[in-house]
Structure 1
Amino acid sequence: MSAQEKAVKLGVSLEPQEPGYLNLCIRSGNQLITSGHVSDMKGVLGKDLTVEQGYEAAKDCMKKILRSVHAAHGTLDNLRVIKLLGMVYSAPDFTDQHLVINGASDLVHEIYGKDTDGYHARSAVGFAALPTGVAVEVEAIFEIKE
């Protein structure tokens, strides 16, 4: 099964997108670089939200990223995930950002493989606030395999 078929099976929407204020995914050489994609869920991890809720929020971000990548590139196939940056709206004493961002990484692993094209570098960091109070924001870099 192709990466794109796996993504659709896992609930990733590949519907066309309307252009926005910023480019959601841009190609530079053989890389696709995304803007930050935010979760629909709002709230502070470690205060309003649990790690499990944050995990789902990060997964939501990754689904949105994949939609943007598809819109820019025309397919989710023949890509390698290079890097994810996960930002978590965190209470001052919250230290499980890495577990939250696993929601994005685990989806990538399911689609591209944990030991192959989905095996990526990653940062997971806590922030005092994120735009509009969203719980999670994720950005990504993909390599186009030609």
Structure 2
Amino acid sequence: MTHPDQAYEELASAHAFPINEAIKIGGQYVPVLRDGPLLYVSGQIPRIGDQVHFVGMVGSGPDAVIDLASARRAAAISTLRALTLVKAALGSLAAIRSVPRISVFVRSAPDFTQQSEVADGASEALYTVLGPRGVHTRTSVGVLQLPKGAAVEIDFVFGVE
């Protein structure tokens, strides 16, 4: 199996995600919090640098501007952001032992019911980078609005060394 750090770099390259750029956080919270063997990562949206990508509702109809494939990519980019934060906190993604839980929020048009398919973008990214250690439980929920108008927001719980 490919080392997680190498798999992360390859996936980031495939999504044109800059891995050497510090992730900026606004507000009075921490992006990563360790509590014993668990590492919690605050909700991540598909932001690259200062720009939020994939802004708008997911689905079809007059209010929706993001299709399913784009929403899945948004989920993958949000996951890359989380992995960037974890790597900065731990030094290497090899320190991840498990992913007990992810929660995926999808800014959904009223008739959109494929939130779980959007979440697959995050699940596939985790498995690509971590292999079997990236298998997780998850919840996917449709919501009316997300920060900065993002199509997707995901929070994570990692089991770590």
Both proteins in one fold, TM over 0.5: yes
Q: Which residue of 2 aligns with 1:88?
A: 106
Q: Which residue of 2 aligns with 1:44?
A: 57
Query: What value does the CA root-mean-square deviation take over the aligned residues?
Result: 1.5
Residues 55-80 of structure 1, C-alpha deviations (whole Å, 9 max, x = no match) = 01101100100011112222111312
Whole-angstrom CA distance in 2 between matches of 1:19 and 1:87: 19
Residue 76 in structure 1 maps to residue 83 in structure 2 = no
Count of residue pairs the alignment pairs up: 143
Whole-angstrom CA distance in 1 between matches of 2:139 and 2:23: 27
Residue 8 in structure 1 maps to residue 9 in structure 2 = yes
Whole-angstrom CA distance in 2 between matches of 1:139 and 1:14: 21
Whole-angstrom CA distance in 1 between matches of 2:123 and 2:84: 16
Residue 139 in structure 1 maps to residue 146 in structure 2 = no
The correspondence of residues 122-137 of structure 1 with structure 2, limited to 5 A, is 122-137=138-153
**Higher alpha-carbon deviation: 10-19 or 121-130:** 10-19
Structure number having the greater strand percentage: 2
Match of 1:99 among 103, 111, 117: 117
Check 1:49–1:19 CA distance in 2 against 1; reply closer, same or farther (3 A cut): closer
Residue 35 in structure 1 maps to residue 42 in structure 2 = yes
TM-score, with normalisation over the residues of structure 2? 0.83
- Give the drift of 1:26: 1.1
TM-score, with normalisation over the residues of structure 1? 0.91
Percent of pairs with identical residues: 31
What code does the residue aligned with 2:35 have? S
Whole-angstrom CA distance in 1 between matches of 2:72 and 2:158: 21
Give unpaired runs (5+ residues) of structure 2: 47-52
Match of 1:65 among 82, 86, 91: 82
Contact 1:55–1:104 (CA under 8 A) maintained in structure 2: yes
